[in-house]
Amino acid sequence: MESGSYKHLLVEDRGAVRILSVNRPEALNALSGAVIDELIAAVEAIADDAAIRGVVITGAGPKSFVAGADIAAMAPMSPSEAMNFAGRGHALGEMLGALPKPVIAAVNGFALGGGCELALACDFIYAAENARFGQPEVKLGVIPGFGGTQRLLRRVGRAMALELCLRGHMIDAAEALRIGLANRVTPRGEVVDAAVAAAAEIAEMGPLAVAKAKELIHQGADLPLAEANQREIEGFAGLFDSDDQREGMEAFLGKRKAEFKGR
């Protein structure tokens, strides 16, 4: 799918960083099935594009990152339809985690329900001062369905995840930073630029090393320490068979900037 054919996504490239902006202003950028499908297509395109080395996901406009999943579309769903919908949301989250490039959520305004889950599926989160996070699904008689219970648990710990999911209340950017949900808080209007700057900085690093570090951190979170450490040893050693390793160390010793090729 070409970028111009997206109905609900705005796509912008800044150097090696691609910005994906969910664009449904009439619904505060809520996640419909169509939006999820477009995000999946956009991520697939990035995976195949060596020129793109970082991704920023945000919401169009200043009010909302993604206000949640589309409740009007969900209300009449049968259990089988709900399972399919949740499965597509999970598929998107798994693709973002598996993408061998950093994915940063730039949260401007509301990140509720599916929006909070989309941010959680990114590698880390930058939040504008006006950002608001929450998993309010219990107020609708359901639970988070796009990974919220599990990614939130792994991000902020059991007690905080329980409180957020059971009370269904919103927290502000400062509280999100305090509990480890957000990595950084920026002034309003600056969050996308801050996320792009971080992604561009990472894009200057060895892409094979970035991909391997991301892979090991995600995998290791669910493994016993000894097994995770063994995978690190193997990943470290494997990179010594790459042109990037030789270039990076020769550049350091030669006091020049490395020119990585991703091989």
Residues annotated catalytic, as ranges: 117, 137
- Euclidean distance between CA atoms 243 and 44, whole angstroms: 26
The tokens describing 25, both together, are 């202003």
Rounded (10°) CA dihedral 107, 108, 110, 112: -10
Residue pair 102/195 in contact by the 8 Å Cβ criterion: no
- Euclidean distance between CA atoms 12 and 21, whole angstroms: 8
Residue pair 82/145 in contact by the 8 Å Cβ criterion: yes
| SS3 call for 237 | helix
User: Any residues with CB less than 8 A from the CB of 142 and at least 6 apart, and which?
Assistant: none
Residue pair 226/219 in contact by the 8 Å Cβ criterion: no
Pairing assessment for the beta strands 110-112 and 132-134 based on DSSP bridges: parallel
User: Any residues with CB less than 8 A from the CB of 74 and at least 6 apart, and which?
Assistant: 82, 85
Residues 214, 220, 225, 228: is their CA dihedral positive or negative? negative
> Where do we find the tokens 């792009």?
196
| SS3 call for 11 | strand
